[in-house]
Each structure stands twice: as C-alpha cells, then as structure tokens.
Amino acid sequence: MVKKRKVKKDDSLKRVHRKSILFNKREIQAIEHYCKKYKITNKSKFMREIIITSVLKKFDEDYPSLFEKKATLFNQNLKKKI
C-alpha cells in the first residue's frame, strides 16, 4: 500500500483578493466565443492567466537598465526589508 504524502500549501499563494470586472455585450460575446472555440472550461483561470501574462510581459519590457535609479516593482520593496 502506498502512503499518501501530505502536501504543504503555501499560504502566500492562496487567492483571497477579489476583483470585479465588467464587460460590454460585444466583449463578453468575444470571450464566450473564444472559450467555446478553444474549449476553455475554467474562465476564471483563463482570465487570471491572461492578465498576469500581460502584466509580466510589460514588466519585462520595462525592466530597469543597469544605471537606472528610479524605483520599480522589483527594487522598491528592497528598502522596506532591509
């Protein structure tokens, strides 16, 4: 008999922050059509992935240069932790 291993979940990854979003008729029709065409059943996961992908892509594009002193998402929290 194989023992089941308990997986410890990281509480910092638990989704507790709720956001609402409104779409007009055309936007929701496009989303519904896309989900149907590509057999997407979990729309929440789909939208979360699309949003995060877009945000991370923008962060990559705006990544600070070696000599840039302006605070960014990546370095603004360093001062708080030190």
Q: What is the per-residue pLDDT across 21-57, written as a single tens digit (0 to 9) for each?
A: 999 999 999 999 999 999 999 999 999 999 999 999 9
Residue 60: per-residue pLDDT: 86
The more confidently predicted of residues 75 and 2 is 2
Q: Does residue 32 lie in a domain region? A: yes
Q: What HEC string does 38-68 produce?
A: CCCCCHHHHHHHHHHHHHHHHHHHCCCCCCC
Number of folded domains that form the chain: 1
Q: Does residue 37 lie in a domain region? A: yes
The more confidently predicted of residues 43 and 7 is 43
pLDDT digits (tens, 9 = 90+) for 49-82: 999 999 999 988 887 766 666 666 666 655 555 4
Q: Does residue 38 lie in a domain region? A: yes
Q: Does residue 75 lie in a domain region? A: no
| Alpha carbons 67 and 24: distance in angstroms, whole number | 44
| Alpha carbons 71 and 22: distance in angstroms, whole number | 32
| pTM, to two decimals | 0.62
Q: Does residue 41 lie in a domain region? A: yes
Q: In which domain, by residue range, is 38 found?
A: 25-60
Q: Does residue 17 lie in a domain region? A: no
> Best-predicted range by mean pLDDT among 1-5, 6-10, 49-53, 60-64?
49-53
Q: Does residue 51 lie in a domain region? A: yes
Q: Does residue 43 lie in a domain region? A: yes
Torsion angle, alpha carbons of 63, 65, 69, 71, to 10: 0
| Alpha carbons 22 and 42: distance in angstroms, whole number | 18
